[in-house]
Structure 1
């Protein structure tokens, strides 16, 4: 009942305007796919320029000739995103995934979620062999001001189980890397709904992802031939 009350009281913010694909930058070609839920879609800001896609592509543009695409929709679970695999572009170099929050807020258990995650990544890698897959940890929803006890405690325990399982999953998959992302819970870190990231948080997320991409490709460029 508490969860339903919070859902009813939380404002529904729209996905921002702006381009969801494009080309920019100079240098070595890099094909980027951003995939996921409302956070990947940029909910919480007014335009994609301020969202994850806009901020990440700007950070990568000085280093790469970037061809990028965003496939994201509010409310998407990991299982639902499996339907997008056939629509996703083939032959990409980096896949950044933001999924799990809607699974966490549903009755699904960790093992079913991991099975869907494995199936999703398997399909993506089949279409893009050799791609680098960056996974985003679930945010500490139980610490968000909008959630009160006892719901907050339930969310903290579920978030901890989901993130431990995701970390273990990434350790066992050579193509996958879990971003070391820890967004602050300061007033300016959340959007007006008290749930989605603000532009400042999207910036931190983009910086974390760009650093992982640059570090991975720096290692590959310096390997002896």
Structure 2
């Protein structure tokens, strides 16, 4: 074991009781927002058929806004409607990890031309290591491609959790380093898979960009996310 890694692990062991107390305090102080009401599937628009699956955690589910039309799914489908006959579906639930989502997708066997994924935050906040997370991500994508050969998979980078106002030191520093390792691994993963693309998404962390819980996106941030995903989808499936 290298000296730097040994020192890092020693510090984590020493700090772990404090980190646990901080994490529990943040969880207790953070209001739990519900998933918004609204449609989670539909068909709209005219033109070439595009089957879209939005998959993931509370952010994919739209937590932070009051209705799905303000969330990622509603804003993205409106942006895509002028270009395609869009058949879309949202499979997302608060608290979902990558492994839990894999089991869910295996039951649903949803078919799609494009899959937009928002996962990783709940994995990052758990004890799981980067390698196990990437293995689960690979298994998830393999399962999606088995149901939908030829589909393109758009993955969303993890947000800079350590910079969120809810997190203080030393927990913020640990989350910052962990997020950097997760995102670096995810970038390398996407570069090694032709079906995968990592969205170039960097959402602001201003008060206007965050929901009332100081953690989930606001309607304005969901709009930026939808615009980024829309550009990527159109570049992959150019309408005639």
Q: TM-score, normalised by structure 1?
A: 0.96
4+ aligned runs moved over 4 Å, structure 1: none
Q: Deviations over 1:79-98 (max 9, x none)?
A: 11111112435431000000
For 2:32 and 2:199, locate their aligned partners in 1 and report how far apart those are by CA, in whole Å.
27
1:17 alignment counterpart: 37
Q: 1:41 aligns to what?
A: 61
Structure 1: 5+ residue stretches without partners? none
Name the CA distance, whole Å, in 1 between partners of 2:227 and 2:109.
Answer: 24
Which residue number in structure 1 is paired with residue 49 of structure 2?
29
CA RMSD of aligned residues (A): 1.1
The aligned residue for residue 222 of structure 2 is 202
Contact 1:71–1:88 at 8 Å: present in 2 too?
Answer: no
Q: Counterparts of 1:56-67 in structure 2 under 5 Å?
A: 56-67=76-87
Give 1:62-101 correspondences, 5 Å limit.
62-101=82-121
Matched, 1:118 2:138: yes
**Aligned residue pair count:** 220
Alpha-carbon distance change, 89 to 33 in structure 1, aligned in 2, over 3 angstroms:
farther
Q: Secondary structure at the match of 2:63?
A: coil
Query: What TM-score do you get using the length of structure 2 for normalisation?
Result: 0.90
CA distance in 1, matches of 2:71, 2:89: 14
Work out whether residues 75 and 102 of structure 1, in 8 Å CA contact, stay in contact via their aligned partners in 2.
yes
1:216: Cα distance to partner? 1.3
Structure-2 separation of matches of 1:52 and 1:94: 15
Deviation at 1:38, TM superposition (A): 0.2
1:174 aligned counterpart, secondary structure: coil
**Distance (Å, rounded) in 2 between the aligned partners of 1:159 and 1:150:** 14
- Structure 2: stretches of 5+ with no match in the other structure: 1-20
Residue 10 of structure 2 is aligned to residue 3 of structure 1:
no
Where 2:237 maps in the other structure, the secondary structure is: helix
Per-residue CA deviations over 1:161-211 (Å, capped at 9, x if unaligned) read 000000000000000000000001111000000000000000000000000
Task: Give the Cα separation in 2 of the matches to 1:137 and 1:51.
Answer: 18
